[in-house]
Structure 1
Amino acid sequence: MRGLDRQAMQKEVMAWLSSSSIFLCGLVETRVLITKFKSITDRIRNNWDWTNNYNADSGGRIWCGWDPMKIEVTVIISKDQMILLQVVIRGTVTKYNNEKKGGRRHPPRVFADFNNTIDKLYLTDMPTANGVFTWCNKRYINRRIYAKLDRGLMNEDWALTYPDSHVLLTPPLTSDHWGLCVKVPVNIASGPKPFRFLLIWNKQPAVKDLVATSWGKQFKGDPIAKLMFKLKLCKQAVKQWNTEKFGSVYVEVISCRKKLAEIQGVLADDPMNEDVIHKEDECRLNLELAISNENIILSQKSRIRWVKDQDRCTKFFFQKIKQHKANSNMTTLQEGGTTITDPNVISQRFVEYFQRAYAGGV
């Protein structure tokens, strides 16, 4: 590889590495001064690690470079005619680019195999209480890389049985990996749930009338106060209507199934009864509507915007709902160098913070 100190040759090497999609290379007969080694390798691949044999040959006849995110390399022997390396392939298990800081960005296809495997197994990430990244290459700032290479995954049964479980990262100390400790809290106290407008209410004409009536009422005060009163009035009206008129969708599904089963039992004894046949059709339509409404609620709660027909009302939806619930729980709080896990103390810290904020102390 003569002429490597020329930019044209360096560009050829860069193009070759990019087109070949390799993560380990060797350049021989470089014959470049050792003082130029770092500047040239930084230009070729500044996020790679490099070694050479200048210690055995002043001409530096062999250069080796590798991607530390893909492989771990240890130099075993470095002589004038050879460099012997021990190579360990590193599993790159980041799911997305936002799980990595520093280094090169990868196209989506790099994550495809891992993400597809996770999806096929119906596994999801366990919430992490105190951080994102679990590995660091321990290099200096301009070459330092953080990534989430280690993760806690849970299946449907685990998510449903231990909905509040989460991962707590422990300091790496002398390692390049953080430790992962799975916590399974018991009886986490939850506060009042915020009001959420359900999408299925949009199908009910009564809701539009309720909102229009509540919104049309006049209030005195500044615009922000008026807006708050109107929103509060709409919320109260819709909640009362839902309790008195609409009811629980889940209860409706159970009731419709029971009625349809009873009608089909009658039809089994009198299969040609026209009135019973019409009642069966009516009950079946009611059940299908109730199931459709249930799916809309499950989709909204699980934040899944697309639903396959075969996925209706499976544990997958409930798993997602439980996962989002777990993500919204505050199980640990870092205060200086102390980790607080007592839920009562955590709640008190939040109250104190916002009291200071509104008093102008923050």
Structure 2
Amino acid sequence: MRKRYPCVEVDLSKVTHNVKEVLSMCSKKGINVIGVTKVFCAETSIVQAMLDGGITHIGDSRIQNLKKVKDMNCKKTLLRISMESEAEDVVKYSDISMNSELNTIEVLDKAAKSLGKIHNIVLMVDVGDLREGVLEEDVIGIVKEILKLENIRLVGLGTNVTCYGGVLPDRNNLGKLVKLKHDIKALFNIELSIISGGNSSSLYMIMNSTIPVEINQLRIGEGIVLGRETAFGQLIPNCYDDAFILKGEIVEIKNKPTVPKGTIGMDAFGQRPHFEDKGIRKRAIVAIGRQDIKVEGLSPLDKNISIFGASSDHLILDVTDSKSQFKVGDIVKFKMDYGCLLAAMTSGYVEKYYEEELAISIVV
């Protein structure tokens, strides 16, 4: 089969390998892992690679993605705060949902009752990042109301840090969840089975053995797909950072100046660009652009290639120093950060190919 470009090539064996490494690291601390599937839109081939690595519980932010995997043998959690308009689907397609609004939880209760089900929820607590979650001082009051609902079962507490405010997880803020767990047990005589201590940014606390003992769940996406924790960007030992590779086709190569001629105004995205005069350089245009990727998240595998910039449809590279003698039709390869991967996997203009290759050596 002739491949079409641009494309993302996914090495499923590397995904499976990374899952095994992350699970091994977390299990030593008594922590269960939800494999987060949103960055690749819950593509079933990749989900299966996760399951092959030992994941038994996946999470996604979108009901549409959970519908894709409804028949796959694993638990499913809706990670984004539930929408009242999707309450029936939330109950149908997720085993657990994360919530912070009592009104929405009451709507879920009604939906669960109409479907003859008990729906499990994790109450999200804001410990400082200021994204989703009940404020710490309001938790006991909302728990009291949740416990009155017949078709809702409160199974845990969770929090999210880093994604919005950049607040790092630590013993203090994650410790607030642990304290609340004990307060709830003392007041209501219930034992919460899940204390969900964040995402891949919490992995550094496992790596340096500082995570509070009673944190027993993490929601891991980037740690699996890109092999890194996200608090400091460290690579996870023995994990691959190249399971996902972006490939683009060169459509033009020309020697051109590095500073445009004429009066500089705003570009297509409302920014006023600035240019450094490097003289005449060999410039390659690759057929992919900002409609498909986050350009700032690209890293050419060829270290002698640099990125000049991009428009909606064109990525402009400086290939002057590359040892490769590029020509029109050649393929350039890139690693991606999480934001770039998210955009590429969501774009309908980027082909996706899923392959099993024998992993010979760890790329770090």
State the TM-score bracket (shorter-chain normalisation): under 0.3
Instruction: For CA contacts below 8 A with separation 6 or more, give which structure has more relative contact order.
Output: 2
Larger fraction in strand: 2
TM-score, structure 2 length as denominator? 0.22
TM-score, structure 1 length as denominator? 0.22
